[in-house]
Chain A
């Protein structure tokens, strides 16, 4: 094994919930699960934003679609695994469909249209009371994914999410160096040249869209089953911005970078919340904003930029 640290990280992620269970650090199991969900979202958005270079400000809509699809399916009597599969399919299909419609747009125009789609999704979930129960949200029956472990539900979901993140990393890494990954980078660098080299541009772009939708759908379904509750308030514009920040700050197109970005951006406020003394606790977002500015000022290329991109930027 050439590099051992990914395995070490996975082992650590799987083992730590058991160590913190029952101690005063038990909140870390929950933090770990939330960070894992943002890792899934970051890796998903990385396909379109990082690899193909399509700027997107409404990604959270597909997280919402996954969460609501899982919630509605499970309430209708589907088993939880079936609900997850359904949620992944629904989010991937919705994102591919959106892609077919809007992929002729580029740059900031694409960004604002996806932002519009994100807001339309959230407002529709809020207003279509008959299906979504509006702002009051939907309750889900409890499901314990790893009931045989007799561990705390947070620990069970933490492990399940860690496994999902590991799978997502594997998919991302394998794709990065594959024919598909190289085609994506070629499209990002010069769409016309890529097209003239025989790359079916639109098909590869749609593949990136569908894959990123699937990741968001998986994250959304796990989130809904874990919380046993979904409301439109969880899927605001700000969350989309946070996922974009995760990808850009971590390092666009770099799997390890996105993981680190997710850990920093979603983990820091949670850890600050748990550790700051009471007179400082309200200031945590102030610190978070400052950290964001300082990190990007000193590492504009991202914390762990992909090797390919770093080579471009330094030349």
Chain B
């Protein structure tokens, strides 16, 4: 029971962390909250779902098929995020600080309604990889699917870390996050770096959408909203703009929710209250998040 609870917390936390990374990468460079990120992760899940419906046999139903779905979701969500940046945010880079936020809200409404109107108003079944039923671990029988989800998420986080820390593009991203103007003066192609950042952030969100769909076995046009605001909360909890903070915040929020649901009387009703109350308390003690560097400026 306890082992299964821990795995629930880790799975949920890993999904939150992946989404939170998308918020924090974009925030690190542009200091804007990408409110459309919830819809990006939803579209990632729908891209994978479309591929599964179009080519079910080619993919197979095992872990390789799941990996194919993950790749499709990441590619789709990454491209959508790049497109959103180009169309709805780029013009507003020098605008007042809250203008891109409003644009993002508009994009979010458009995308959600586009899927609602043109794809489906109902929940759709999402393929879960076969052959991953119960696994025996430490004497307990635990859910193998969750183990696979956790593994995929952790793998993506390690890849992201290597990308940011080891590659030329990663260095350019860090430079832009540090000081966009100075990076431009040093010859960094800022527009391209921002587009890549949106692609990477969107792809991680898309991966989270696919994993979320696999975990619950269904997807819906408004599926992004709840994990979206939770992950945003997680990113702020860890210190928005900080990559490690987003991962820490994601796992912390996952643990808080699962423990609250499991160990507080009527916990399922109160889990979100516990999560948000913990967030408020942490931020009162550490006003710029757990690993954040400086307090953001005012609007």
Interface residues of B in 256-283 (CB under 8 A from A): 266, 269-270, 272-273, 276-277, 279-280, 283
State in angstroms the CA–CA spacing of A123 and B92 once bound together.
35
Q: Which residues does chain A contribute within 8 Å of B88, judged by CB atoms?
A: 293, 297
Please state if A248 and B113 are interface contacts (CB–CB under 8 Å). Answer: no
Q: Which residues does chain A contribute within 8 Å of B33, judged by CB atoms?
A: 108, 111
Contact pick for A55, options B91, B279, B298, CB 8 Å: B298
Q: Which residues does chain B contribute within 8 Å of A101, judged by CB atoms?
A: 284
Q: How far is the CB of B23 from chain A (nearest CB, A)?
A: 10
State in angstroms the CA–CA spacing of A137 and B297 once bound together.
40
Please state if B273 and A124 are interface contacts (CB–CB under 8 Å). Answer: yes
Q: Which residues does chain A contribute within 8 Å of B288, judged by CB atoms?
A: 109
Contact pick for A106, options B103, B229, B276, B287, CB 8 Å: B287
Contact pick for A248, options B99, B114, B277, B296, CB 8 Å: B99
State in angstroms the CA–CA spacing of A311 and B279 once bound together.
38
Q: Which residues does chain A contribute within 8 Å of B277, judged by CB atoms?
A: 116, 120
Contact pick for A289, options B108, B270, B299, CB 8 Å: B108
Contact pick for A300, options B95, B106, B232, CB 8 Å: B95
Query: Which of A119, A120, A249, A296: most chain B Cβ within 10 A?
Result: A296
Q: How far is the CB of A196 from chain B (nearest CB, A)?
A: 17
Q: How far is the CB of B19 from chain A (nearest CB, A)?
A: 14
Q: Which residues does chain B contribute within 8 Å of A245, judged by CB atoms?
A: 102, 105
State in angstroms the CA–CA spacing of A248 and B32 once bound together.
15
Interface residues of A in 292-311 (CB under 8 A from B): 292-293, 296-297, 300-301
Q: Which residues does chain A contribute within 8 Å of B27, judged by CB atoms?
A: 108
State in angstroms the CA–CA spacing of A286 and B240 once bound together.
30
A290-B110 CB under 8 A given contacts A54-B298, A112-B236, A119-B272: yes
Which residue of chain A is the closest to B108 with respect to CB atoms?
A: A289
User: Which range contains the number of B residues in contact with the other chain?
Assistant: 35 or more
Contact pick for B103, options A109, A119, A241, A296, CB 8 Å: A296
Q: Is B233 an interface residue (CB 8 A)?
A: yes
Q: Is A30 an interface residue (CB 8 A)?
A: no
Q: Which residues does chain A contribute within 8 Å of B109, judged by CB atoms?
A: 285-286, 288-289, 292
Q: Is B289 an interface residue (CB 8 A)?
A: yes
Q: Is A113 an interface residue (CB 8 A)?
A: yes
Please state if A115 and B229 are interface contacts (CB–CB under 8 Å). Answer: yes
User: Which range contains the number of A residues in contact with the other chain?
Assistant: 35 or more
Which residue of chain B is the closest to A301 with respect to CB atoms?
A: B96
Q: Which residues does chain B contribute within 8 Å of A288, judged by CB atoms?
A: 109
State in angstroms the CA–CA spacing of A274 and B114 once bound together.
21
Q: Is A252 an interface residue (CB 8 A)?
A: yes
Please state if A293 and B107 are interface contacts (CB–CB under 8 Å). Answer: yes
Q: Is B101 an interface residue (CB 8 A)?
A: yes
Q: Is B138 an interface residue (CB 8 A)?
A: no
Q: Is A53 an interface residue (CB 8 A)?
A: yes
Please state if A282 and B117 are interface contacts (CB–CB under 8 Å). Answer: yes
State in angstroms the CA–CA spacing of A292 and B92 once bound together.
14
Q: Which residues does chain A contribute within 8 Å of B108, judged by CB atoms?
A: 289
Q: Which residues does chain B contribute within 8 Å of A178, judged by CB atoms?
A: none
Q: Which residues does chain A contribute within 8 Å of B232, judged by CB atoms?
A: 112
Interface residues of A in 268-292 (CB under 8 A from B): 282-283, 285-286, 288-292
Q: Give A2-19 as 1s and 0s: 1 = Cβ < 8 Å from B's Cβ atoms.
A: 000000000000000000
State in angstroms the CA–CA spacing of A53 and B297 once bound together.
10
Q: Give A214-237 as 1s and 0s: 1 = Cβ < 8 Å from B's Cβ atoms.
A: 000000000000000000000001
Please state if B106 and A292 are interface contacts (CB–CB under 8 Å). Answer: yes
Q: Is A127 an interface residue (CB 8 A)?
A: yes
State in angstroms the CA–CA spacing of A123 and B260 once bound together.
15
Q: How far is the CB of A276 from chain B (nearest CB, A)?
A: 13
Q: Is B98 an interface residue (CB 8 A)?
A: yes
Q: Is A49 an interface residue (CB 8 A)?
A: yes
Q: Is A188 an interface residue (CB 8 A)?
A: yes
State in angstroms the CA–CA spacing of A116 and B295 once bound together.
18
State in angstroms the CA–CA spacing of A290 and B287 once bound together.
36
Please state if B279 and A297 are interface contacts (CB–CB under 8 Å). Answer: no
Please state if A107 and B295 are interface contacts (CB–CB under 8 Å). Answer: yes
Please state if B99 and A296 are interface contacts (CB–CB under 8 Å). Answer: yes
Q: How far is the CB of A54 from chain B (nearest CB, A)?
A: 7
Please state if B299 and A49 are interface contacts (CB–CB under 8 Å). Answer: yes
A296-B298 CB under 8 A given contacts A104-B284, A105-B283, A116-B280: no
Query: Which of B110, B270, B272, B288: most chain A Cβ within 10 A?
Result: B110
State in angstroms the CA–CA spacing of A98 and B92 once bound together.
32
Query: Which of B33, B98, B232: most chain A Cβ within 10 A?
Result: B98
Beyond the given pairs A104-B287, A286-B114, 20 more chain A to chain B contacts, judged by CB atoms under 8 angstroms and listed by A's residue number, are: A105-B283, A105-B287, A106-B298, A107-B297, A109-B240, A111-B33, A116-B279, A117-B276, A119-B273, A119-B276, A127-B266, A127-B273, A237-B229, A241-B35, A248-B102, A283-B117, A292-B106, A293-B88, A293-B103, A297-B103
A-B contact pairs, 5 of them (CB 8 A): A108-B27, A112-B233, A252-B98, A296-B106, A300-B99
**B interface residues with partner A (beta carbon < 8 Å):** 27, 33, 35, 88, 91-92, 95-96, 98-99, 101-103, 105-110, 113-114, 117, 229, 232-233, 236, 240, 266, 269-270, 272-273, 276-277, 279-280, 283-284, 287-289, 295-299
**A interface residues with partner B (beta carbon < 8 Å):** 49, 53-55, 101-102, 104-109, 111-113, 115-117, 119-120, 123-124, 126-127, 188, 191, 237, 241, 244-245, 248-249, 252, 282-283, 285-286, 288-293, 296-297, 300-301, 313
